[in-house]
Amino acid sequence: MENLKDQRVLITGASSGIGRAMALSLAEKGSELFLLARRSDKLTELQSEIKTKYPEVKNHLIVGDINDSEIGEKIRTCTQEKIDILINNAGLAIGKERVEEAQFSDWEQMINTNITANFKLSHLVVPWMLKAKKGDIINLCSIAGHYTYQGGSVYCATKHAVNAFTRILREETCGQNLRVMQISPGMVDTEFSTVRFKGDKQLADAVYAHMTPLMAEDIARMMIFMLEQPRHVVIDELITMPTDQGSPTTVRRSK
């Protein structure tokens, strides 16, 4: 099994949800963490928790928006161009309006975050991994990268793009000791729906009402499983949904 101790890991969107859960899971394994997110207060809270639980673990904060033009230089400076693992986690959905009713600014934000920033991170770190002759990348995709649903036109399109990009990157780096993987979750109870509905907690809570969704810790546990496989093993993709979900539009609720 692959030993994650002292491996240098960059996690985007690390301040909450799946990114935060993954940071704590990797800290337990003894990895050195580079935690990137916009909210400095949330990152500082996470750093304090890691220091309390795992005082021997090195962790570094990179505060900034993944879409900022200078974020690449911040990452380059902080990591000194040495990254063993990239967790390309940052992403979001905004709104569930039909195409003719949606706000184009929402589309731009989803495209910039889910596609452009995601691709830029791989473009930045893959040369470092190739030089080191070793590296792992996990892209956070979604079942929306495999299925479509009404009200999710651009979000689904962005995740289909991540799916295609991940597969091509895997082909291009084949045989060079880089493992390019992705995980595609269904319903996970994080801030995702709160962001999608622009802070409307009632609408967000209704998404998970009367059913049992996945939790961020479930996704982190699966990603640890992917990373700990022997180096000759690549978990191409994990598609995971709660048992109460059969597709993006098929959800069994108790009431």
Q: Where are the domains of the chain?
A: 8-248
Instruction: Write out residues in the chain with pLDDT < 70, as ranges.
Output: none
Per-residue model confidence (pLDDT) at position 163 = 98
Query: What is the CB neighbour count within 10 angstroms for residue 69?
Result: 7
Q: Which CATH architecture has domain 8-248?
A: 3-Layer(aba) Sandwich (3.40)
Per-residue model confidence (pLDDT) at position 255 = 73
Half-sphere exposure of 162 (CA within 13 A, CB side): 36
Per-residue model confidence (pLDDT) at position 42 = 95
Reported in sequence order, the residue ranges of the chain that DSSP labels E, i.e. its strands, are 8-12, 32-37, 59-63, 85-88, 135-140, 178-185, 237-240, 245-247, 250-251
Q: Has 159 been annotated as catalytic?
A: yes
**From 42, 51, 147, 155, active-site residue:** 155
**From 54, 131, 149, 159, active-site residue:** 159
Q: How many residues are there in the chain?
A: 255
Q: Has 155 been annotated as catalytic?
A: yes
Rounded Cα distance, 206 and 42, in Å: 25
Q: Find residue 10's DSSP bridge partners.
A: 34, 86
pLDDT, tens only, 119-137: 999 999 999 999 999 999 9
The pTM of this model reads: 0.96
Amino acid, res. 192: F
Per-residue model confidence (pLDDT) at position 103 = 94
Cα 162 to Cα 15, 119, 138, 146, distances in angstroms: 22, 8, 11, 11
Q: What is 170-198 written as a DSSP string?
A: HHHTTTTTEEEEEEEES-B-SSHHHHHTT
Joined together, the tokens standing for residue 169 give: 């990157």
Rounded Cα distance, 126 and 136, in Å: 9
